[in-house]
Homo-oligomer: A and B are copies of this chain.
């Protein structure tokens, strides 16, 4: 459990600080990232690195610091070497010299596997609260 909390504690610092390879390394080599905020799923280590690099460059070019604020981490064991993790994720952006704002409230739903002595994310799916159907979950 401590290892999982470390993983989720660390991961946002990696992508938010431009450490694209470290962020991609929290996924398996064939890891997948799906988010409705981006046009297509991101598949595998090299695409994950490129995705994290683009994310950081976009904030820098916009003159903003963007943070992935993770809370409410909930771990469920689904097999001897498999976990699911649900969490809340706020995107908070701050322009240089300006006020911070809550850009988006989302939920992440991850599948993790034991991979070389560490837990890594095999598949992350992000759901945006502004795209929830009014009658479902």
**Residues of A participating in the B interface, judged by any CB pair closer than 8 Å:** 1-2, 5-6, 8-10, 12-13, 17-18, 60, 63, 65, 67-75, 86-88, 90, 92, 94-105, 129-135, 137
Q: List 16 A-B contacts (CB under 8 A).
A: A5-B73, A6-B74, A9-B74, A12-B72, A17-B137, A65-B129, A65-B132, A67-B105, A69-B72, A69-B90, A92-B105, A94-B105, A94-B132, A96-B131, A100-B104, A101-B102
The interface residues of chain A, by DSSP majority, are classed as mixed
How far does the alpha carbon of A45 sit from the alpha carbon of B8 in the complex, in Å? 33
Contact A130 to B6, CB < 8 A, known contacts A12-B88, A13-B86, A71-B71: no
A60 with B135: CB separation less than 8 A: yes
A9 with B100: CB separation less than 8 A: no
Task: Name the one of B6, B69, B135 contacting A71, with C-beta atoms under 8 angstroms.
Answer: B69
**Which of chain B's residues have a CB closer than 8 A to the CB of A71?**
69-71
Task: Name the one of B6, B18, B67, B129 contacting A67, with C-beta atoms under 8 angstroms.
Answer: B129
**Which of chain B's residues have a CB closer than 8 A to the CB of A70?**
71-72
A137 with B96: CB separation less than 8 A: no
B95 with A92: CB separation less than 8 A: no
Task: Name the one of B1, B74, B129 contacting A100, with C-beta atoms under 8 angstroms.
Answer: B129
Contact A130 to B67, CB < 8 A, known contacts A13-B86, A92-B105, A137-B17: no
